[in-house]
Amino acid sequence: MAAKYVLIAREIRRRIMSKQYPANEPLPDQFALAAEFSTSRMTIQQAMRQLIIEGLVYTRQGQGTFIRKNFHQFSQWDLAGSDYFGATKTWGHKGRVSSVVIRFELRFPTEKEQTSLLINADAPVYDFIRLRLLNDEPMSLDATIMPVNLVPGLSRSHLEGSVFQYLQQTLGLKMMGSYRVVRALKPDVLDMQYLNCQETDPVMEVEQVIYLEDGTPLEYAHCHYRYDHSGIVIVNNG
Amino acid sequence: MAAKYVLIAREIRRRIMSKQYPANEPLPDQFALAAEFSTSRMTIQQAMRQLIIEGLVYTRQGQGTFIRKNFHQFSQWDLAGSDYFGATKTWGHKGRVSSVVIRFELRFPTEKEQTSLLINADAPVYDFIRLRLLNDEPMSLDATIMPVNLVPGLSRSHLEGSVFQYLQQTLGLKMMGSYRVVRALKPDVLDMQYLNCQETDPVMEVEQVIYLEDGTPLEYAHCHYRYDHSGIVIVNNG
DNA sequence: GAGTGGTCTAGACCACACT
DNA sequence: GTGTGGTCTAGACCACTCT
């Protein structure tokens, strides 16, 4: 049973989507909504907080709550499969995703990896590189580092399938969030070989650390995307 | 006078930063904090919500509130001057920023610009391009479209200074947020000319719409950054 | 069972915008 | 002044974790 504020947010979202609320008028005020849903105003506000974060509405003190004029422009973007987080969305065409394992090794971490994963120099890590294909077209090349002690028994076959699924379903690990830096780069040798890049084709690099529920860094990765296959969407509410 | 929950968040932030709270233990529980600050638990929770969004702490039901193990890694990134928004930060070396106006024209909007800015085909727009320098080194090339009716009296001298300052201080406009897409691109002719790019140097493009307080789109821009001068940081809390 | 955060209530007063 | 959202109270019960 979801919390009441989640149900209320869902209902208000549905009404906005189905244009049950006029786009150019403020929503009913919080007192009216509290009465309608037989709840307190605090609960209505918690529902509104959620809709604000989603970019669906915004509030103005003394004026009311308004529907964002072009929220529908946001919804044209799709969540990619491996992208389990909220505020940012990766943009890709739909299709079937598969993986080819380019490298799968065990070694000790570099200094940068030690500080990013908060581990010691003698804590072994997996080091693997995967080419990710969308409908058999190369899409991204992901170089990932994971501490062995967090992910016992990782095998090549897991890499060919979904690592995320193995982590979640078999090991019961839960992700908390991520920290990412996005930049443009010249393609390196691997990019040219596997992503079919020319010298002049840039790659988009996402350097990311993904954290578990308890704040432990789980993976440190550099993901390279073909410049013509993806973008990253960032929505920001003042 | 700031709200009480803001003051409490500030004090707890200060304590975490100064290591007054041990990094490996949970914070005092919400009941204790409510007692200490002579307030209700709801107010403590509102303060915590703020610290969670900042990436400083996280909570676990039944366990407590914990300091994120590497929040200090986040704080190494600086907010750029024109980046008035919260969750994403642009990364740049510090220094003096100046602008050179490459183009400054008036015209009617394209279809893409009409839908992005929610204006009609006969609503004139400013179309200007500026080269932005950091310590006299080219950093970014920004192509901006703004509806004339929102920004009366924009002049070349404003472009050489801070457009943002003119909007805020003279016209009293307030920003609400932004919507951005980040991607890597091959440099175009202007990029090569002004950013000193070679054919093989990629650019990072940020396509963005910035909104006013009331949801009106204010500007639609394509900003090109030298690939070796910047990245974009995204923090995400599940 | 004890301790923790998550949700919820039924009010109250404040800050701000409109008229 | 009236109406709106923003904040705050002093409790209550629920869900979850740990022992």
pLDDT at residue A236, as a whole number: 66
Strands in chain B per DSSP E: 57-60, 64-67, 88-91, 97-107, 125-134, 137-147, 175-185, 203-212, 217-226, 231-237
The answer to whether the Cβ–Cβ distance between A58 and B91 falls below 8 Å is no
- Does strand D come within 7 Å of the CB of A174? no
From the options 1.10.10.60, 3.40.710.10, 1.10.10.10, 3.40.50.10280, give the CATH code of A4-67.
Answer: 1.10.10.10
- The CA distance from A104 to B211, in Å, is 46
- The CA distance from A183 to A234, in Å, is 14
A52 touches chain B (CB under 8 A): no
The answer to whether the Cβ–Cβ distance between B186 and A203 falls below 8 Å is no
- Does strand C come within 7 Å of the CB of B29? yes
pLDDT at residue A230, as a whole number: 66
* Distance from CA(A213) to C1'(D16), angstroms, rounded: 15
pLDDT at residue A125, as a whole number: 94
How far is A183 from chain B, CA to nearest CA, in Å?
Answer: 5
CATH 3.40.1410.10, chain B: domain bounds: 78-233
pLDDT reading at B84 higher than 90: no
Other C-beta atoms within 10 Å of B71: how many? 21
Residues B174/A183/A136/A193 CA torsion (nearest 10 deg): 160
pLDDT digits (tens, 9 = 90+) for B17-47: 888 998 888 999 999 999 999 999 999 999 9
The answer to whether the Cβ–Cβ distance between B85 and A236 falls below 8 Å is yes
Picking from A178, A184, A235, the nearest residue to B184 by CB comes out as A184
pLDDT at residue B87, as a whole number: 33
pLDDT at residue B3, as a whole number: 87
Query: What is residue B29's DSSP assignment?
Result: P
The answer to whether the Cβ–Cβ distance between B179 and A73 falls below 8 Å is yes
* Distance from CA(A29) to C1'(D2), angstroms, rounded: 14
Each of the 238 residues of chain A gets a pLDDT tens digit; together they read 788 999 999 999 999 988 899 888 899 999 999 999 999 999 999 999 999 888 788 888 899 999 987 665 554 443 332 333 333 444 444 567 788 999 999 999 998 999 888 888 889 999 999 998 878 888 889 999 999 988 888 889 888 877 877 777 677 777 777 778 888 889 999 999 999 888 888 988 888 888 877 778 889 999 998 887 667 777 666 5
Q: Are B145 and B121 in contact (CB under 8 A)?
A: no
pLDDT at residue A95, as a whole number: 63
CA-closest candidate to residue A221, choices A121, A116, A133, A123: A116
pLDDT at residue A74, as a whole number: 52
pTM above 0.75, yes or no: yes
**Which top CATH class is B78-233?**
alpha beta
Quick one: pLDDT band at residue B222, thresholds 50, 70, 90? very high
Q: Which residues pair with B97 in a beta bridge?
A: B134
pLDDT reading at B77 higher than 70: no
How far is B238 from chain A, CA to nearest CA, in Å?
Answer: 5
- Does strand D come within 7 Å of the CB of A61? yes
Average pLDDT, chain B: 82
Residues B50-59, mean pLDDT to the nearest whole number? 86
B46 touches chain A (CB under 8 A): no
pLDDT at residue A133, as a whole number: 85
The answer to whether the Cβ–Cβ distance between A238 and B58 falls below 8 Å is no
> Which residues, other chains included, contact B59 with Cβ-Cβ below 8 Å and sequence gap of 6+?
B48, B52, B65, B66
pLDDT at residue A154, as a whole number: 87
pLDDT at residue A91, as a whole number: 45
pLDDT reading at B218 higher than 80: yes
B59 touches chain A (CB under 8 A): no
The answer to whether the Cβ–Cβ distance between B69 and A235 falls below 8 Å is no
C1' of nucleotide D7: residue with nearest CA: B3
Q: Are B197 and B191 in contact (CB under 8 A)?
A: yes
Q: Which two tokens stand for residue A107?
A: 């070694």
How far is A31 from chain B, CA to nearest CA, in Å?
Answer: 20
pLDDT digits (tens, 9 = 90+) for B184-193: 889 999 999 9
C1' of nucleotide C8: residue with nearest CA: A43
CATH 1.10.10.10, chain B: domain bounds: 4-67
- The CA distance from A176 to A168, in Å, is 12
C1' of nucleotide D8: residue with nearest CA: B43
